[in-house]
Amino acid sequence: MNAAPVAPVAVEDLQCAYMPVWEVKRGALTTYVCLARGNQTEASLYEAHKTLFAGQAAEEKLRMDIGVLNYVIDELKDMEAAGRKLFVVCPVQLETLHNFKNYERYKAACDAIPLSCRPFLIFLVMMDEQMRLPTKETYWFAAPLKQYCCQVFSELLMRKDMNFQYIKHAGIDAVGVRFHKTSGSEQDAINMLTAFDSRAKYFKIRKSFVFGVETLSATTSLICAGFDYLGGGAIHDDVAHPDTVHRYRYEDLVSELLPADKTDIPDQG
């Protein structure tokens, strides 16, 4: 059963925190996803954000999306003033971007992003589990967003009809999913995700991610599968602000799986 809709949260009451993301090839946690917690009690900040938006009307999703965006803009300004150079990921709902009027309002809010901060901003398009829009109608908005950020990531649903060719042509830089064991084993999920990564890379989508990683075994398997970004409880606890380059919790155990040549930050282009 679907969860009951959550009451909208006033923009001024949005409480946000950050999920550190392990950038595998660099061997460091350099990327931070800003997520709204709301009044939820889920252990996962990512799931709390998803729950907060689930079932809301399109107007409410737009309002909260802009609230999170403004939170990110303030963080980027603070980072610039302090000389911190990390990447901040701003989630935005697919429904906000697919509704033309709401998309224009969201882009107007993006105009407030300082030019000097845009090389450190990544947009993450979040999928609503209930949306079943044809893929070729869904990803037309990525290119216009590029003027405000360095990359556009998109969460996908594990669906057989997902056409990676449309997504590639739309300019999406990275695709990924939430880790789901569903009714099968962790190994079943790993097998599905390995096929997902291979298919995305086949269509020249350069990067891939998995969020919701909770075990060391899943982490090592996903590194071996070729994923570029990993986030979740097994990677690092949530943090209040992207203050520094954090260490991966099991860095010593998986260092042999990582490439020897790591580059300096930043380079998300």
First to last CA, the chain: 41
Q: Which residues pair with 58 in a beta bridge?
A: none
* CA pair distance 126, 215, nearest whole angstrom: 23
Asked whether the predicted pLDDT for residue 8 surpasses 80, the reply is: no
Asked whether the predicted pLDDT for residue 255 surpasses 50, the reply is: yes
The predicted structure's pLDDT at residue 79: 94
Q: Residue 186: which pLDDT band, with cuts at 50, 70 and 90?
A: confident
User: How does DSSP classify residue 32?
Assistant: E
Residues 149-159: tens digit of each pLDDT = 999 999 988 77
Mean pLDDT computed over 70-82: 96
Label residue 74 exposed, middle or buried (CB < 10 Å: 0-12, 13-18, 19+).
exposed
